[in-house]
Chains A and B, each alone.
Chain A
């Protein structure tokens, strides 16, 4: 156990169906990785939500700094041309 706390936090990702990506669904406390998978199974897959579980130590997640959100994310709000909404799609293409 590298984490010093007896019940560290783990982030849980579940895959709803084969072919879909794993999605973050929450977190669990557990003493180690094996127990974290079991806790995730017991807490987040009780209603048939999942065919696969990933758990990751929360401490291993590197997050962006909320104080930097202006420089990281704000500039994109004025670049509407990056959205693919300016193309005329021929009728023959059908649904895209």
Chain B
């Protein structure tokens, strides 16, 4: 079970790290000073969660791999994050819709994980769930105001929903390894999270006077098996260059 557990903890960390890095790319580009800091706060929450899940994965694996080894010395094909989190940033509506889509899943998921039979995972989840609760709140309040705002903010929010919707289903996918962890009472069943996600999203969209995209695009998937968009490799090249050019560097 330890190989499955290692892979699972890495995939949780990868989701958090990649989305955290995308959010960190907003630094100095936020629409207002206040929101610029808010986006960095969200990024730091997620990067902090990634560090804990990577460290746990290294301990379970037992090969002395550290959080830095996982973050900086794996290539895109080794990452197991969902595609949703690696998509390049575009506009603020896209950032808030993505955050809502992710956090509306991650919040009930981490809540369930905090009752895992694995104490290491449960402890990280118990810390992270409080952080993610604010991510739901912050992104939901923005989506409501953008959707029910100006013509431009509404148009951009609808475009973001259309662009991101095909990436939703992958959040609820489980491979054989993860299913074995579900059966063992270690990992939550993602299927059981779906109705909670649906309710959160529908409540926000109703307040935002928006609807789910009517054109159902083909679901995009592959991240969990290492089949990523080329945007992830580009992002990692930027993120990893310093650590690779100067191995072991501290600052």
Q: Digitize B1-43: 1 where CB-to-A-CB distance is under 8 Å, 0 elsewhere.
A: 0000000000000000000000000000000111101100100
Q: Digitize B130-174: 1 where CB-to-A-CB distance is under 8 Å, 0 elsewhere.
A: 000000011001000100000000000000000000000000000
**Quick one: given A7-B32, A29-B32, are A38 and B37 in contact (CB under 8 Å)?**
no
Bound CA span A92–B138, Å: 56
Report whether B145 and A42 are in contact in the complex, using a CB–CB cutoff of 8 Å: no
Kindly identify which residue among A7, A34, A35, A43 contacts B37, using a CB–CB cutoff of 8 Å. Answer: A43
Report whether A46 and B37 are in contact in the complex, using a CB–CB cutoff of 8 Å: yes
- The smallest beta-carbon distance between A87 and chain B, in angstroms, is 49
A28 proximal to B (CB < 8 A)? yes
Specify the chain B residue showing the minimal Cβ separation from A32: B145
- The smallest beta-carbon distance between B30 and chain A, in angstroms, is 10
- The smallest beta-carbon distance between A3 and chain B, in angstroms, is 15
Specify the chain B residue showing the minimal Cβ separation from A46: B41
Report whether A30 and B34 are in contact in the complex, using a CB–CB cutoff of 8 Å: yes
> Which residues of the partner chain A approach B32 to less than 8 Å between Cβ atoms?
7, 29
A39 proximal to B (CB < 8 A)? yes
Q: Digitize A13-51: 1 where CB-to-B-CB distance is under 8 Å, 0 elsewhere.
A: 000000000000000111110110011001100100000
Report whether A29 and B145 are in contact in the complex, using a CB–CB cutoff of 8 Å: no
Report whether B41 and A35 are in contact in the complex, using a CB–CB cutoff of 8 Å: no
> Which residues of the partner chain B approach A35 to less than 8 Å between Cβ atoms?
141, 145
- Given contact pairs A29-B32, A43-B37, A46-B41, enumerate 6 new A-B contacts (beta carbons under 8 Å): A38-B137, A39-B35, A39-B38, A42-B34, A42-B38, A43-B34
